[in-house]
Structure 1
Amino acid sequence: MEGSRVLIALGSNLGDRAGFLLSGLARLAALAGFEPGRLSPIYETAPVGPAGQGPYLNAVLTGRSTLPPRELLEEMLRVEAALGRVRGRRWGPRTLDLDLLDYGGRLLAEPGLTLPHPRLHERPFVLVPLAAVAPSWRHPRLGKTAAELLEGRDASGVRPWKPLY
C-alpha cells in the first residue's frame, strides 16, 4: 500500500484495558484504506485529568493510510464508539482512546483535527511508546525526533506493562 505514514496513539483505562486495545487494533487493521505497521510495547501510566480514574494502558501504532486525514479520524472515532467509548467530560475515563498523532508530516488545523497532535510533544505517555516504535520520526513543527522530544522529560510514570499470566 502506498498512502501516507500515520501514527496513532491508543489508550484505555476502563474494564479489560488490554482487550480494548487489542480489539481497537483489530478494527483498525480491518479498515479499507489503512494498513497497520508496528505496534509499540504497551505501557501503564497514571491518568491525566479528573481524579478517581484507574491507570491507563498506552501504545503507539504506525501504519499507512490512503484515507484523507479527516476520513481516517472519523473511522477511528467509529472504532472508539463501537468499543463503548462515551464522550463525556474532557480527559475522563474511557474504554478506548485513539488519537491521530501524525499523518505524513502534514500541518493541519481544522475544527476537531490538528496535525500533528497538539500535545504529543508534552506527553511522556505518548513519547515513550512513540520513541520505542519510531525513534527517528521527526515532529513537523518542532523539527525534533521522537527520541529528542523525550530527552529530559520525566518519564518515570511510564512503566512497561507486564500482563499477569
Structure 2
Amino acid sequence: MKTVFIALGGNLGEVREHFIAARSDIDRLQNTSVSASSLLYRTPPVGPAGQPDYLNAVIRIQTDLDPLALLDALQQIENRYGRERLEHWGARTLDLDIIAIASDIITSERLVIPHPHMFDRQFVLQPLCDLAPQWQHPQLGESATHRLKQIIETGEAPLPEGEAW
C-alpha cells in the first residue's frame, strides 16, 4: 500500500456535496481507503476570468492500485459528478488530481507525479500541510511547509481559514 495525496477542486454546482460523495467513492475503490481529509478552503479561480470561487481540499489515501488505474478511477468519479473538459483551467463541478504518490516520480504522457504545479499553488499546499506538513518533494527536496511559507513571504496573501467538511 502506498500513501497518495489527491487534490479536490470545484466551483460549479454543489461542490461540497460532490467532495463528500467523491471521497466516499474513492474510499470504496478496490484496495483503497481514505485515511485523512484536509480542511476545505475557498479560493479565487486560476484561469479564465468570470468564474466563481473554488473550493479546494486534499485527501490522503492508502492504495495498492497502479497509478494509471487510480487515475482512470478518479476520472470516472469526476465524470459521475458532471465534469466536462471544455476549457483549460475552466470552471468545473469536480476536479480530482493525484498530487503525490509516496516519494515516487512518474513522467508519462497521461500522468506526471508529483503534480507539476503543486508547489506553485497555495490552494494545494495549504490543505496538503493540514495533512502532511513535512512531506518532502522528491525532486526539490523541499517540504510542503517550507514552500508554503516561501509563497506567502513573496507577498501572496494567506488563504482564509479553512473549515471542516
TM over 0.5: yes
Q: Give 1:136's aligned residue.
A: 134
SS of the residue corresponding to residue 58 of structure 1 reads strand
Please state how far the C-alpha of 1:151 moved relative to its aligned partner: 1.2
Paired letter, 2:120: E
Q: Give 1:160's aligned residue.
A: 161
Of residues 154-163 and 45-54 in structure 1, the stretch that sits farther from structure 2 once superposed is 154-163
8 A Cα contact 1:46 1:157, kept in partner: no
Please state how far the C-alpha of 1:15 moved relative to its aligned partner: 1.0
Count matched residues: 161
Q: Give 1:14's aligned residue.
A: 12
Q: Give 1:88's aligned residue.
A: 86
Aligned equivalents of 2:42 and 2:138: distance in 1?
A: 27
SS of the residue corresponding to residue 35 of structure 2 reads strand
Unaligned runs of 5+ in 1: none
SS of the residue corresponding to residue 151 of structure 2 reads coil
Paired letter, 1:160: E
Once the two structures are superposed, what CA deviation does each residue of 1:92-144 show, in whole Å capped at 9, x if it has no partner?
A: 00000000001121111101200100010000000011111110111111111
Please state how far the C-alpha of 1:147 moved relative to its aligned partner: 0.5
Paired letter, 1:95: T
Unaligned runs of 5+ in 2: none
1:66-105 equivalences under 5 Å are: 66-105=64-103
The list of structure 1 runs, each at least 4 consecutive aligned residues, that deviate by more than 3 angstroms after superposition, is none
Paired letter, 2:140: L
Q: Give 1:46's aligned residue.
A: 44
Q: Give 2:121's aligned residue.
A: 123
Paired letter, 2:149: E
Aligned equivalents of 1:157 and 1:47: distance in 2?
A: 15
CA RMSD of aligned residues (A): 1.3
SS of the residue corresponding to residue 13 of structure 2 reads coil
Aligned equivalents of 1:50 and 1:30: distance in 2?
A: 34
8 A Cα contact 2:39 2:163, kept in partner: no
1:49-68 equivalences under 5 Å are: 49-68=47-66
For residues 114 and 83 of structure 1, do their structure 2 counterparts lie closer, same or farther at Cα, with a shift above 3 Å needed?
A: same
SS of the residue corresponding to residue 99 of structure 1 reads strand
Aligned equivalents of 2:158 and 2:133: distance in 1?
A: 19
Provide the TM-score with structure 1 as the length reference: 0.93
Provide the TM-score with structure 2 as the length reference: 0.93
Aligned equivalents of 1:33 and 1:86: distance in 2?
A: 28
Identity %: 37
Aligned equivalents of 1:123 and 1:71: distance in 2?
A: 26
Paired letter, 2:157: S
8 A Cα contact 2:4 2:63, kept in partner: yes
For residues 48 and 18 of structure 1, do their structure 2 counterparts lie closer, same or farther at Cα, with a shift above 3 Å needed?
A: same
Once the two structures are superposed, what CA deviation does each residue of 1:48-104 show, in whole Å capped at 9, x if it has no partner?
A: 000110001100101111001111011000000011101111000000000000112
